[in-house]
Chain A
Amino acid sequence: MTRPAPDPVQVRAILIATLRRATRGTATAGSGGKPRGLIFLLFTYGVMGLVLGLLPFVSTDVFTFSLVIWSATLMMSGMTMVAESSTLLFDPRDNDILGHRPIHPRTLLAARSLGLIALALVLGLALNIVPMITGLFARGSRPWFPIAHLATLPVMAVFCAGMVVFVYALLARLVSRRAFDTIASWTQVGITVVLIASYQLVPRLMDRLGTFRLDSAHPVLLALPPTWFAALSIVMLGVDTGARALALAAAAVVMTVVLAWSAIRFLAEGYARQVAALGEVSAPAEPARRSRPRREAPSRLGTLLSTVIRDPVEHGAFRLARAYLARDRDMRMRIYPSLALVVVFPVIAILDPERAAYFGPIMTTIMVGTLPATAMMTFKMSPHYAAADLFRYVPIHGTAAIFHGVRKAILALLVLPGVVVSGAILWFGSAERHGLLIALPALTAIPTLSLLEGLVGDYLPLSIAPTSGRQGAVNVGMMLFGFIAFALLAGLAALAKAQGWFWQMMAAEAALLGLIHPLMLRHIRSRAMRRAEA
């Protein structure tokens, strides 16, 4: 096959359709056609930008300020795009619509990439709108800071989208369809770890004595992409036009072009092949068996489950959740990045011994604490949302048993391993183990807090169509909520430990949880399922 350039008419048509889908949501998603996920996501990014935008008022120079802002932009936009990639890049449903149309793979990948760039641009704009103005007050800034910052944003958006597209297109080219499902999910974890770790490096390299300042010549900084974009901003500002700044600014442009160009030029066909393969059944159905089907012998886990979870509906929901967590590519691509957050903070903590004692346990507690709510909300989304009608026509009073089945699967299969792994990293990786105790109140509260999702509305797993921005909104929203709730709890625990009333606090918490947990259970059990509106 020859290698023609992407067809502009088709790219335009696919891009417009993609943007319409992204900005409207679907009526079946119960959103009334409004992209509530995307709106919420943009709002939270705006709030984060507002907080970051305060930095110039604590005596920060313009380079450091730009670097912090671009680090945050790359991390936040990158994480959202990674979380959304299952919808934006690899939606198997698209194959029946586009697979038989005369679209060259390069045209398809170019259109998809432009969709991602548009998302990165919108997210970046929401995050940068306040810093773009407050940057005027950074030390050494110039009056045209907003223009220089705004001009850097599209380059950053292309880099961010190009990075995600490049990684997945490379993966699609290198691995088989069967391996792709598993490797793609774990690649997301890897990208998320890299994004967070890179972001966490920036404040650790900062001189915080008196002023917030970063040394632009620091060898670690030179390797971080946000440094290149900060250099691009300050070169455009005319603050620094030295050889190093120019080289770093050039790196931003060159790396962006190389990433985008090589993805479209060399990896498009592998990508298109993988998208087509995702829409395929991996093997034909077996011919009907002539003998009577044998009854499967129950596994040990199955026997244990039947003992622990006696309600058959709850048991069924647990098994459904377990199957989707283990087998469904879309679900894994949405949930697995949250696991990265649980692991990355203990690792950062042990690499930063100065703050290992409290930073590690507090951040890990926050991440583990938000995991059940994030996973429970994510579990509502699925491309197979129409199948969830099943829950509405089976004779069940309410959704309590379904909710508890999914909740217990998430606690047992995600949260518990997360606690064990992060706890082990902190325990074995650091000599400062005394701080681990402050995680105890939050961990104790997790089973009760995981009931919150069941208190409002009908909890029906896999019942909402995934739309652009929805996953990112869930992740960011839960992270914000988790930061506030679990940071308060961990902070209180740290205070109690320092003042010697830690165990009294634990006893009070246990008593409180012992009181509200059964009340919440009773409330969830008593709620009848609402009739579907349409």
Chain B
Amino acid sequence: MIRLQQLSKSYGTQQAVSAIDLEIPTGQLVGLLGPNGAGKSTTIKMLTGMLAPSSGTAEVEGFDVNREPLEVKRIVGYVPESGALFEALTAHEYLHFVAALYHIPGDEAELRIARFASFFDLDGDTLTGKPLSAYSKGMRQKVVITSALLHNPRVVFFDEPLNGLDANAALSFKTLITSLARDGKTIVYCSHILDVVERVCERVVIIHEGRIVADGTAAELRERAGASSLEGAFNKLTATENLLARAEEFARVLSR
């Protein structure tokens, strides 16, 4: 269970997140959407214990993110949008490093790494033979996802997890997160690829300018906004002008 009560974060006079109230039951797969700068990543960083809230409270599986950040960090996994890795290490070294941070014994870590490598089609030579700096973007993303799931977290936050993944890997990943949620893991999925969110997530929360502006199933959101797709509903809830007309006008200006 994730519970947010009046959770806020401000930077000086700028309010990044404004008094958010939200409850996500255990085992739910929730899509967290919002335009750029809406406050999604800030919210996730507060829920992973990376960032202290300015006010309000948040609990992850009963642990307070402000008072018990280490306990929260032990039970969450996080795939950051940046896909940052220590590039001088090989994937094998990097994953063993991450395992050590969670006190996973070497043998057990090896077993888990092998399991993920097999799932993501990463062969042994690739894992041990070259530094991560030499990996393609998709391969790096597979390592980032593995490093987030290696310690078998109860709650997982994915921020644009499909970045760089090819169609087959993306399909496998979508199936994986649905299965993880079915097995009782709570999953928060941030993405700008709305049709994936629509297909995968059982609930969608839209944040705009630091506030929750919509919360429900994709069908409910479409109905409420009078749109035929989640994309249309998102546009109506977060944009104040006709983006299509604006884009067409801009394209005309460009081609002059």
Q: Which residues of A contact B (CB under 8 A)?
A: 1, 9-10, 12-14, 16-17, 20-21, 24-28, 33, 93-104, 178, 273, 276, 280, 282-287, 290, 465, 467
B100 interface residue (CB < 8 Å to A): yes
Residues of B within 8 A of A95 (CB): 50
Asked if B88 contacts A21 (CB within 8 A), the reply is yes
Known: A12-B100, A284-B210, A286-B37. A21 touches B86 (CB 8 A): yes
**In the complex, chain B residues 29-44 whose Cβ is within 8 Å of any chain A Cβ:** 35-39, 42
Asked if B74 contacts A102 (CB within 8 A), the reply is yes
A26-B131, A97-B86 known, 5 other contacts, Cβ within 8 Å: A1-B67, A103-B73, A103-B101, A276-B50, A284-B42
B87 interface neighbour in A9, A16, A26, A178, Cβ under 8 Å: A26
Q: How far is the CA of A26 from the CA of B84 in the complex (A)?
A: 14
Q: How far is the CA of A16 from the CA of B241 in the complex (A)?
A: 53
- 23 A-B contacts, Cβ less than 8 Å apart? A1-B67, A1-B69, A9-B103, A10-B100, A10-B101, A13-B101, A20-B89, A21-B86, A21-B89, A26-B87, A27-B87, A27-B131, A27-B134, A33-B88, A93-B82, A101-B98, A102-B71, A102-B101, A103-B70, A276-B51, A282-B12, A284-B42, A287-B209
Asked if B12 contacts A97 (CB within 8 A), the reply is no
B73 interface neighbour in A21, A101, A282, A283, Cβ under 8 Å: A101
Closest to A94 in B: B84
Q: How far is the CB of A66 from chain B (nearest CB, A)?
A: 37
Q: How far is the CA of A14 from the CA of B89 in the complex (A)?
A: 12
B93 interface residue (CB < 8 Å to A): yes
Q: How far is the CA of A272 from the CA of B70 in the complex (A)?
A: 13
Closest to A283 in B: B14
B80 interface residue (CB < 8 Å to A): yes
Q: How large is the interface on B (under 10, 10 to 19, 20 to 34, 35 or more residues)?
A: 35 or more
Q: How far is the CA of A102 from the CA of B134 in the complex (A)?
A: 28
Asked if B240 contacts A290 (CB within 8 A), the reply is yes
Q: How far is the CB of A409 from chain B (nearest CB, A)?
A: 29
Asked if A20 contacts B93 (CB within 8 A), the reply is yes
Q: How far is the CB of A29 from chain B (nearest CB, A)?
A: 8
Residues of A within 8 A of B94 (CB): 17
Residues of B within 8 A of A27 (CB): 87, 130-131, 133-134
Nearest 7 interchain pairs by C-beta: A285-B37, A13-B100, A102-B73, A96-B84, A283-B14, A96-B80, A99-B50
Asked if B210 contacts A102 (CB within 8 A), the reply is no
Q: How far is the CB of B184 from chain A (nearest CB, A)?
A: 21
Residues of B within 8 A of A17 (CB): 86, 89, 93-94, 97
Asked if B37 contacts A100 (CB within 8 A), the reply is no
Q: How far is the CB of A100 from chain B (nearest CB, A)?
A: 4
Asked if A100 contacts B76 (CB within 8 A), the reply is yes
Closest to A468 in B: B88
Asked if B36 contacts A25 (CB within 8 A), the reply is no
Which of A94, A280, A467 counts the most B-chain CB atoms under 10 A from its CB? A280
Closest to B101 in A: A101
**In the complex, chain B residues 1-58 whose Cβ is within 8 Å of any chain A Cβ:** 11-12, 14-16, 35-39, 42, 45, 48-52
Q: How far is the CB of A383 from chain B (nearest CB, A)?
A: 10
Residues of A within 8 A of B134 (CB): 27
Residues of A within 8 A of B70 (CB): 1, 102-104
B85 interface residue (CB < 8 Å to A): yes
B88 interface neighbour in A20, A284, A290, Cβ under 8 Å: A20
B189 interface residue (CB < 8 Å to A): no
Asked if A25 contacts B82 (CB within 8 A), the reply is no
Residues of A within 8 A of B119 (CB): none
Q: How far is the CA of A199 from the CA of B228 in the complex (A)?
A: 74
Q: Which residues of B contact A (CB under 8 A)?
A: 11-12, 14-16, 35-39, 42, 45, 48-52, 67, 69-71, 73-74, 76, 78, 80, 82, 84-89, 93-94, 97-98, 100-103, 130-131, 133-134, 209-210, 240-241
How many residue pairs between the two chains, A and B, have CB atoms under 8 Å in the bound complex? 110
Residues of B within 8 A of A273 (CB): 52
Q: How far is the CB of B95 from chain A (nearest CB, A)?
A: 11
Which of B38, B76, B84, B88 counts the most A-chain CB atoms under 10 A from its CB? B88
Q: How far is the CA of A22 from the CA of B102 in the complex (A)?
A: 23
Known: A20-B93, A100-B48. A9 touches B88 (CB 8 A): no
Asked if A13 contacts B14 (CB within 8 A), the reply is no
Q: How far is the CA of A95 from the CA of B51 in the complex (A)?
A: 11
Closest to B9 in A: A284
Q: How far is the CA of A178 from the CA of B70 in the complex (A)?
A: 26
Which of A1, A26, A276, A286 counts the most B-chain CB atoms under 10 A from its CB? A26
B50 interface neighbour in A14, A25, A100, Cβ under 8 Å: A100
Residues of A within 8 A of B36 (CB): 285
Residues of B within 8 A of A14 (CB): 97, 101
Q: How far is the CA of A26 from the CA of B80 in the complex (A)?
A: 21
Q: How far is the CA of A83 from the CA of B134 in the complex (A)?
A: 27
Closest to A98 in B: B101
Closest to A276 in B: B50
Q: How far is the CA of A267 from the CA of B37 in the complex (A)?
A: 32
Residues of A within 8 A of B240 (CB): 290
Which of A97, A178, A465 counts the most B-chain CB atoms under 10 A from its CB? A97
Residues of A within 8 A of B98 (CB): 101
Q: How far is the CA of A12 from the CA of B100 in the complex (A)?
A: 9
Residues of B within 8 A of A283 (CB): 11-12, 14, 16
Q: How far is the CA of A273 from the CA of B66 in the complex (A)?
A: 13
Q: How far is the CA of A120 from the CA of B49 in the complex (A)?
A: 33
Q: How far is the CA of A17 from the CA of B15 in the complex (A)?
A: 37
Asked if A97 contacts B85 (CB within 8 A), the reply is yes
B84 interface neighbour in A10, A13, A93, A290, Cβ under 8 Å: A93
Asked if A100 contacts B131 (CB within 8 A), the reply is no
Asked if B14 contacts A284 (CB within 8 A), the reply is yes
Asked if A284 contacts B11 (CB within 8 A), the reply is yes
Asked if A9 contacts B51 (CB within 8 A), the reply is no
Q: How far is the CB of B149 from chain A (nearest CB, A)?
A: 13
Residues of A within 8 A of B78 (CB): 100
Residues of B within 8 A of A103 (CB): 70, 73, 101
Known: A10-B100, A13-B100. A25 touches B88 (CB 8 A): yes
Known: A96-B84, A100-B73. A287 touches B103 (CB 8 A): no
Known: A26-B87, A101-B73, A276-B51. A284 touches B16 (CB 8 A): yes
Q: How far is the CB of A39 from chain B (nearest CB, A)?
A: 15
Q: How far is the CA of A22 from the CA of B76 in the complex (A)?
A: 29
Residues of A within 8 A of B85 (CB): 97
Q: How far is the CB of A201 from chain B (nearest CB, A)?
A: 40
A100 interface neighbour in B42, B49, B100, Cβ under 8 Å: B49
Q: How far is the CB of A146 from chain B (nearest CB, A)?
A: 34
Asked if A9 contacts B11 (CB within 8 A), the reply is no
A284 interface neighbour in B39, B86, B87, Cβ under 8 Å: B39
